[in-house]
Every structure is written in structure tokens, then in C-alpha cells.
Amino acid sequence: MKLHDFGLWFIIRIPHYTYIWSSAIPPESDYWIYYDGMYLGKQYSDFDLVISDDLSLIIKLKNKFQRLPSPSRKWYQIGRRLTIDDFEIIENPNYKGKK
């Protein structure tokens, strides 16, 4: 069992395609967001945010950010680095689960 399987964690890519886990939001953008081992989203280097919406847990944004057109995912233009006050992790009300 790995420590990062539980709670909110971020994966950061550093030079030479090395990846490290962090329990704090990274100081730069371009990182992946995980909660309880599930991939929930990614903030890109241009500060856009993509949120997965097909899992049992999802990211709910607390602030009104501009939504961008995307056929498969929720894509937002944030314009800055996310803060912990910008979002929360909630149960997905549309999750059907596996039968």
C-alpha cells in the first residue's frame, strides 16, 4: 500500500520525465490531481483545468471559472494556479457504478 493512495495528492513532472508526488498544490501548474488513488483532473501550464466526471468522486469548483468547449471532459480556463479554496472533492451524483 502506498501513502498516496489515500487523500488528496498531486503528481508533478520535473525535468527528464521524472514524476514526484506532493500533498500540497505545486507552486507551478502542469500537474495531475488525485484523490484516494483516483485521477480527478489536471491543471496545465497555461492554467487550464480538465476535470474527469465519470468516477465516483469528482472535483467541484467553488468559483465560477469560464468553461471551454470539450466533447469528452469538463475543461475550464482558470487563468491562474488553483488554490485549495477553489475546489472540493465530492461524491459524483451522476455516477452509476459498476454492476
CA distances from 96 to 85, 91, 99 (A): 28, 11, 9
pLDDT value of position 11: 94
40 close to 52: Cβ distance less than 8 angstroms: yes
pLDDT band at 60 (very low <50, low <70, confident <90, very high): very high
Q: DSSP of 60-83, one letter per residue?
A: EESS-PEEEP-SSSEEEE-SS---
**CA–CA distance, 74 with 22 (Å, rounded to integer):** 24
- Bridging pattern class, strands 31-35 and 38-43: antiparallel
pLDDT value of position 16: 83
pLDDT value of position 1: 43
| pLDDT tens-place string over residues 21-57 | 999 999 888 999 999 989 999 999 999 999 998 889 9
pTM of the entire predicted model: 0.85
What is the rounded average pLDDT for all residues in the chain? 88
